[in-house]
Structure 1
Amino acid sequence: MKVSILVPVYNVERYIARCAESLFNQTHNDIEYLFVDDCTPDRSIDVLRSVVGRYPRRKGQVRILRNAANSGIGAVRQRLIDESTGECVTFVDSDDYLPPRAVELLCAEMEHSGADMVDGAWQRVTQDGVSPAILPYQGHDTRRYLGLMLCQNIVSNRMWGRLYRRRLFTGNGIRLTPGIDYAEDYSVMSRVLFYASRSFINDPVYFYSDENAASYTHTTSTRHVRSYLRSCRVVLDFYTKNDTEGRYLTPLQLGMANAIRNVRRIGFSLEEADSLLGYTPHGPLFRLVAAMLRGRCPYRLAEALYLAARKMFIGNEKGDNKQ
């Protein structure tokens, strides 16, 4: 099973050697390594080439591409998918790294289960050390898992730490949207799972670095809020078109209500949010939830109604949203 490991590179001079070494030390042999230099301003690519030189048996499997202009993570990940040739793909951020058997274990489960996507456990890396393993969602019902993901903030929508059959993207027209560089995972995973069967393993397959203060997850800006709302809009438009039976209408509405809730909580313009999101609630409950979140009702009261509506859908189920 040929696996393409897809790695964007931007401003990671301190971390890229650790990342690349972990990739080249994988026990699985049939790997294509694709790196895209998104016009990084530092020496990341020089460091990467130096590491490649220390792994002569992997050198022929490595391609380093360069963007003509800085494009952002969404466009870079899409280029990586377009350029890949493996039956399967996995995404690795260049400040993160993998344990040696990560790809081997994910491939073994995919071959055993026949699933389109396999999740693994992961561990957080901070200046204080490495966390215990954070397990993937343990449920076996992919439809239930997708419903929980659409709700937001219950199960993880991360793109990394998973192995995918490449045809999930290429065969279903699932593309990342240029300019959506924050919360892009939600817009992608919510569409991929509409078509995918899922399996999981509890072996750690990914080390997620919380050390890089320059990463997207360490900052929240107006640009990021707009990107998040555009991501939600991609999901809303997709399900409006494709979920003709309304199977996911309730969790989709909970997710869009959560977007309004986040906007209200951080003080972003509700008018701009409505123009970007374009969400019209369905049914009296969600019309009331949206009206309270958008209106002059005290935030705590509006949030309490939203949480009560979500509780009716998820019950006491626990997810894996540890990010």
Structure 2
Amino acid sequence: MKVGVAIPAYNEVHTIGRCLDSVRAQTHQARAYVAVDASTDGTLELLQHHPQWWAGLTWLPERSGWPTALNAAAELAINDGCDAVMVMNADDYMRADAVERLSVALEGHDWALPYAQQVGAENAVQVPLKRFPLTLRDFSGPHCPIIVFGLIRARVWQDLGGYATDVSLPGSYGYNEDWDFWIRAFKAGYGSGALVREPLLFYVMSDKQLHKQGLHRHAEARALIMAKHPDVFEHRQWAPCSCGCMEGV
């Protein structure tokens, strides 16, 4: 299985080297495909000086946001013949056997996800909010129950058209589009997923992360998802959420 790691990058000159080192160190060969989202800190120049780090590189001249950059990186991988796309952030990194473990788990499934180990903040292990196997109804809660950082078959990504930006939070550079991605995947019949119950991805916590920047607007972002998928949220019953996002709902 040819695996491409799709990496959107915005001003990650100090972190992307570690990320790409972890891709190159995989026990199952994986290649990195990077979309630089109008970075101003030298990220593009660094990558251009190290072509051995990546198999594909593209530049977005205007800041487009994480979803659009992710789509561009995944397109590079798929056009290069990759059978599956691994999604990750440019400031994160993987355990050396991450792609191997996920590739084995992917057998007979549409996608495979790992646990993720936070680096910083609470240093918690990030796990799905719902038990596997998941159903479409599991996506009708106050938060998306799973993250997108994992291995997804190329045909699934192509059929869905990657991330949709019609649910992007206005004025943001990406927030909650993965929720819409998974709902569309389940509706399209791509609900067969595997879970590797070990932290294979190291998720670096920082103040600039999109989920932190958008947390105070979570209810607004969720309303866009609900408006697009009213059938999924028709019978929702929510308890107050500890993050405060239930205010006004």
TM-score in same-fold range (> 0.5): yes
Give the 3 Å change call, closer, same or farther, for CA 172–94 of structure 1 in structure 2.
Answer: closer
CA distance in structure 2 between the aligned counterparts of 1:115 and 1:179, rounded to whole angstroms: 27
Q: Decide whether the 8 Å contact of 1:89 with 1:166 is kept in 2.
A: yes
Give the 3 Å change call, closer, same or farther, for CA 214–263 of structure 1 in structure 2.
Answer: closer
Q: Decide whether the 8 Å contact of 2:116 with 2:201 is kept in 1.
A: yes
Q: Hey, what does 1:65 align to over in structure 2?
A: 58
TM-score, normalising length from structure 1?
0.64
Letter paired with 1:176: A
Give the 3 Å change call, closer, same or farther, for CA 98–68 of structure 1 in structure 2.
Answer: same
CA distance in structure 2 between the aligned counterparts of 1:3 and 1:89, rounded to whole angstroms: 6
Classify the secondary structure of the residue corresponding to 2:31.
strand
Greater strand proportion: 2
Give the 3 Å change call, closer, same or farther, for CA 201–138 of structure 1 in structure 2.
Answer: farther
C-alpha displacement of 1:79: 2.1
Task: Give aligned-pair identity as a percent.
Answer: 21
- Mapped pair 1:151 → 2:150: no
CA distance in structure 2 between the aligned counterparts of 1:43 and 1:228, rounded to whole angstroms: 34
Q: Decide whether the 8 Å contact of 2:219 with 2:246 is kept in 1.
A: no
Give the 3 Å change call, closer, same or farther, for CA 184–14 of structure 1 in structure 2.
Answer: same
CA distance in structure 1 between the aligned counterparts of 2:154 and 2:141, rounded to whole angstroms: 26
Give the 3 Å change call, closer, same or farther, for CA 223–12 of structure 1 in structure 2.
Answer: farther
CA distance in structure 1 between the aligned counterparts of 2:101 and 2:167, rounded to whole angstroms: 34
Classify the secondary structure of the residue corresponding to 2:179.
helix
Which residues of structure 1 form unaligned runs of 5+?
A: 240-248, 268-292, 294-323
Q: Decide whether the 8 Å contact of 1:119 with 1:136 is kept in 2.
A: no
- Mapped pair 1:183 → 2:171: no
Q: Hey, what does 1:123 align to over in structure 2?
A: 117
Equivalent residues in 2 for 1:36-55, closer than 5 Å: 36-50=35-49, 52=50
C-alpha displacement of 1:100: 0.8
- Mapped pair 1:205 → 2:200: yes
Give the 3 Å change call, closer, same or farther, for CA 67–88 of structure 1 in structure 2.
Answer: same
Give the 3 Å change call, closer, same or farther, for CA 69–158 of structure 1 in structure 2.
Answer: same
Larger radius of gyration: 1
CA distance in structure 2 between the aligned counterparts of 1:253 and 1:187, rounded to whole angstroms: 18
Q: CA RMSD for the aligned pairs?
A: 3.1
C-alpha displacement of 1:27: 1.4
1:275-317 deviations in Å (ceiling 9; x for gaps): xxxxxxxxxxxxxxxxxx4xxxxxxxxxxxxxxxxxxxxxxxx
Letter paired with 1:74: P
Q: Decide whether the 8 Å contact of 1:152 with 1:255 is kept in 2.
A: no
Give the 3 Å change call, closer, same or farther, for CA 252–152 of structure 1 in structure 2.
Answer: farther
Q: Hey, what does 2:20 align to over in structure 1?
A: 20
- Mapped pair 1:219 → 2:201: no
Q: Hey, what does 2:88 align to over in structure 1?
A: 92
Q: Hey, what does 2:97 align to over in structure 1?
A: 101
Q: Decide whether the 8 Å contact of 1:174 with 1:192 is kept in 2.
A: no
1:10-52 deviations in Å (ceiling 9; x for gaps): 02223212111111111111x33210111011122233445x4
Letter paired with 2:165: T
CA distance in structure 1 between the aligned counterparts of 2:6 and 2:98, rounded to whole angstroms: 14
Letter paired with 2:32: Y
Classify the secondary structure of the residue corresponding to 1:4.
strand
Letter paired with 2:199: P
Letter paired with 2:198: D
Q: Decide whether the 8 Å contact of 1:16 with 1:47 is kept in 2.
A: no
Letter paired with 2:196: I
Classify the secondary structure of the residue corresponding to 1:151.
coil
Which residues of structure 2 form unaligned runs of 5+?
A: 169-173
C-alpha displacement of 1:152: 3.2
Give the 3 Å change call, closer, same or farther, for CA 182–258 of structure 1 in structure 2.
Answer: farther
Q: Decide whether the 8 Å contact of 1:10 with 1:37 is kept in 2.
A: yes
CA distance in structure 1 between the aligned counterparts of 2:99 and 2:215, rounded to whole angstroms: 35
Give the 3 Å change call, closer, same or farther, for CA 25–227 of structure 1 in structure 2.
Answer: same
